[in-house]
């Protein structure tokens, strides 16, 4: 006997904490620990990090590595020492380096060095599950090959780098079931070489990267015409990956109308839900694209390696203050200078990131082998999945939405079972299954594939 859902009226998830049934974990309730993390994120410290990063003159990937005060070498040694200082005894901080040969945007063989701070998960069943958050600490001017001119890179990507340092320092004081990796990478501007090398190595080692959050140009809420909106951030999330050969998994997704339920879109829904719950009055605007036109970012190599990966970027961009030689034109200052970034805005984006990462790393893994039974013509829906292994697992939640709706519209907690029958037709709605722990932390949803 399977429990049967009595009503198909969708619950409105956006309302936050609904009244929990007896035995149901407090899904949607604020976790005190996540509230504390969000409160601790400091605009003042973020501003200090950006000023320090700018003080190295240039952080171009081919710039000086010997000077103690100028160039990318001094910058990465400072980032590493800052993370070691604030995360003493908690964060494992390492340089991750490889020698990259000459390339279109690299005129000499160059050592590409990422600074990687790991906060190991504390639950044996979850510590191999990894969430990565990144920003790139290299910078550039108009000519991408110019490694001597001043390239302050306050927004691109001092903002993302400062946000990652702040998150690492704040979150190091807390404990999570899964592992968090705080990464500042080099050579984004030269061709994503830092993140690309790390993502390739992760794939070769078959690391379980359950989500990757890239922060690149999150420093300002203005465009060059004065248009301004400090109440939202864009979250770029790819749907169907642009691969040459379609895999059987991808074909199943497309054939069953699941093109909007890729692992990256499920991650984006989780971030929107969590970020907007914990950061009051702030909107996470999901964009159904890998990235903006003419641009790329460090989430791309992770997507190419088959991982779920998204990019945060400010709502409007001011192109006078990105990738520009420092100069004055018609009385206007051009260049990526610190006076054009807004630490209070960066802090809001960092809070969305931190709340999402904390929620993901406290929650159980996504359920595995989630299937919808299609053995017979039937107006109901039977879902099955494999049991999770976490000791603090409470059970599972089924979410659903109209096939034309971007976000979940209904949800039902179904307890600690591995099969459930609903009286809604699988033909008419999209379903997802989430794992829930005893504190009410919820995993991203998994799209059920058909099984006879």
- Paired with 265 in beta bridges are none
Residue from 156, 291, 390, 392 in contact with Zn ion (CB under 5 A): 156
Q: Which is nearer to Zn ion, 343 or 364 (CB)?
A: 343
Provide, rounded to whole angstroms, the least separation between the CB of residue 151 and Zn ion.
12
Question: Nearest approach, Cβ of 371 to Zn ion (angstroms)?
Answer: 40
- Comparison of 52 and 323: residue with beta carbon closer to Zn ion: 323
* Interacting positions 364-423 with Zn ion (CB under 5 A): none
Smallest distance from the beta carbon of 228 to Zn ion, in angstroms?
Answer: 21
Range 43-102, binding Zn ion (CB under 5 A)? none
Stretch that binds Zn ion, among 68-76, 154-162, 336-344, 365-373 (CB under 5 A): 154-162
CA gap 83, 135 in Å, rounded: 14
Instruction: Please say which residue, 295 or 421, places its beta carbon nearer to Zn ion.
Output: 295
Counting contacts by CB under 5 A, is residue 318 touching Zn ion?
Answer: no
Q: Which helix (DSSP H) or strand (DSSP E) does residue 78 occupy?
A: helix 72-86
Q: Which of 322/412 has CB closer to Zn ion?
A: 322
| 216/342 with CB nearer Zn ion | 216
Q: How are beta strands 368-373 and 92-100 bridged, if at all?
A: unpaired
The least CB distance from residue 421 to Zn ion, in Å, is: 48
**Size of interface with Zn ion, in residues (CB under 5 A):** 3
Nearer to Zn ion, 197 or 291 (CB): 291
Secondary-structure percent of the chain, ordered helix, strand, coil, rounded to 5: 30, 25, 45
Does residue 308 sit in helix, strand or coil? Answer: coil
Instruction: Mark the segment that binds Zn ion (CB under 5 A) among 10-18, 26-34, 209-217, 272-280.
Output: 209-217
Which DSSP string do the residues of 229-284 spell out, in sequence order? Answer: -TTEEEEEE-SS---SS--HHHHHHHHTT-TT--HHHHHHHHHHHHHHHHSTT-EE
Q: Which stretch binds Zn ion (CB under 5 A): 35-43, 215-223, 369-377, 387-395?
A: 215-223
Q: Which of 229, 212, 389, 190 is nearest to 290 (CA)?
A: 212
Interface segment toward Zn ion; rule CB under 5 A; list 57-65, 213-221, 256-264, 275-283: 213-221
Rounded distance between C-alpha atoms, residue 292 and residue 295, angstroms: 6
Among 24, 150, 177, 216, binds Zn ion (CB under 5 A): 216
Report d(CA 139, CA 339) in Å as an integer: 17
Q: Which residues pair with 431 in a beta bridge?
A: 400
Of the pair 10, 194, the CB lying nearest Zn ion is at: 194
Nearer to Zn ion, 156 or 342 (CB): 156
Give how far Cα 418 sits from Cα of 9, 395, 421, Å: 23, 9, 11
Query: Taking phi first (over 0 means left), then psi (-120 to 50 degrees means alpha), and beta for anything else, what does residue 427 get?
Result: alpha
Stretch that binds Zn ion, among 86-94, 98-106, 156-164, 374-382 (CB under 5 A): 156-164
Distance CA 322, CA 314 (A): 13
Element (H, E) at 80: helix 72-86
Contact region with Zn ion (CB under 5 A), list: 54-62, 119-127, 150-158, 262-270 = 150-158
CA distances in angstroms from 290 to 12, 134, 264, listed in the order given: 28, 16, 10
Using the contact rule CB under 5 A, the part of the chain among 146-154, 198-206, 211-219, 273-281 near Zn ion is 211-219
Q: State how far the alpha carbon of 428 is from the alpha carbons of 57, 383, 386, in Å.
A: 58, 15, 24
Which window, 33-41, 208-216, 270-278, 359-367, contacts Zn ion (CB under 5 A)?
208-216
Please say which residue, 314 or 437, places its beta carbon nearer to Zn ion.
Answer: 314
Interface pattern 101-140 for Zn ion (x via CB under 5 A): ----------------------------------------
Strand pairing partners for 382? 421
C-alpha gyration radius of the chain: 22
Nearer to Zn ion, 197 or 216 (CB): 216
Contact string 166-205 vs Zn ion (x = CB under 5 A): ----------------------------------------
Q: Which of 157, 197, 291, 390 binds Zn ion (CB under 5 A)?
A: 157
Report helix angle 343-362 to 43-54, nearest 10.
110
Where does this chain bind Zn ion (CB under 5 A)? 156-157, 216
């Amino acid at each position: 006997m399977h429990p049967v859902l009595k009503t198909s009226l969708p619950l409105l998830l956006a309302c936050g904490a609904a009244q929990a049934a007896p035995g149901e974990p407090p899904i949607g309730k604020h976790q005190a620990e996540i509230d504390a993390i969000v409160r601790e994120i400091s605009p003042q410290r973020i501003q200090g990090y950006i000023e320090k990063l700018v003080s190295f003159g240039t952080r171009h990937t081919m710039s000086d590595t010997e000077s103690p005060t100028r160039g990318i070498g001094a910058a990465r040694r400072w980032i590493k020492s800052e993370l070691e200082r604030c995360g003493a005894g908690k964060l494992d901080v390492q340089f991750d380096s490889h020698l990259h040969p000459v390339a279109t945007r690299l005129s000499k063989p160059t050592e590409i060095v990422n600074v990687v701070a790991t906060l190991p998960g504390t639950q044996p069943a979850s510590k191999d599950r990894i969430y990565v958050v990144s920003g790139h600490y290299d910078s550039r001017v108009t000519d991408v090959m110019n490694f001597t001119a001043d390239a302050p890179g306050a927004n691109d990507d001092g903002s993302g780098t400062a946000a990652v340092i702040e998150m690492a320092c704040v979150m190091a004081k807390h404990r999570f079931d899964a592992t968090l990796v705080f990464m500042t990478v080099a050579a984004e501007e030269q061709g994503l070489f830092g993140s690309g090398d790390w993502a390739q190595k992760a794939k070769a080692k078959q690391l379980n990267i359950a989500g990757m959050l890239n922060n690149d140009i999150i420093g300002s809420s203005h465009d060059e015409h004065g248009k301004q909106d400090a109440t939202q951030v864009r979250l770029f999330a790819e749907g169907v990956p642009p691969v040459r050969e379609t895999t059987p998994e991808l074909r199943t997704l497309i054939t069953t109308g699941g093109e909007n339920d890729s692992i990256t879109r499920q991650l984006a829904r989780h971030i929107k839900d969590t970020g907007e719950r914990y950061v009051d009055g702030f909107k996470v605007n999901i964009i159904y694209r890998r990235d903006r036109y003419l641009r790329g970012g460090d989430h791309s190599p992770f997507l190419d390696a088959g991982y779920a990966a998204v990019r945060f970027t400010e709502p409007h961009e001011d192109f006078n203050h990105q990738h520009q030689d420092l100069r004055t034109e018609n009385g206007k200052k051009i260049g990526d200078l610190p006076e054009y970034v807004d630490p209070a805005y960066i802090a809001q984006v960092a809070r969305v990131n931190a709340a999402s990462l904390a929620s993901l790393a406290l929650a159980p893994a996504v359920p595995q082998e989630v299937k919808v039974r299609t053995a017979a013509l039937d107006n109901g829906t039977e879902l099955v999945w494999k049991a999770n292994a976490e000791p603090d697992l409470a059970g599972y939640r089924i979410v659903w939405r109209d096939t034309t709706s971007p976000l979940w519209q209904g949800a039902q907690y179904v307890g600690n079972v591995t099969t459930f029958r609903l009286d809604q037709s699988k033909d008419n709605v999209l379903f997802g299954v989430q794992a829930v722990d005893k504190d009410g932390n919820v995993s991203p949803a998994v799209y059920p594939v058909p099984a006879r």
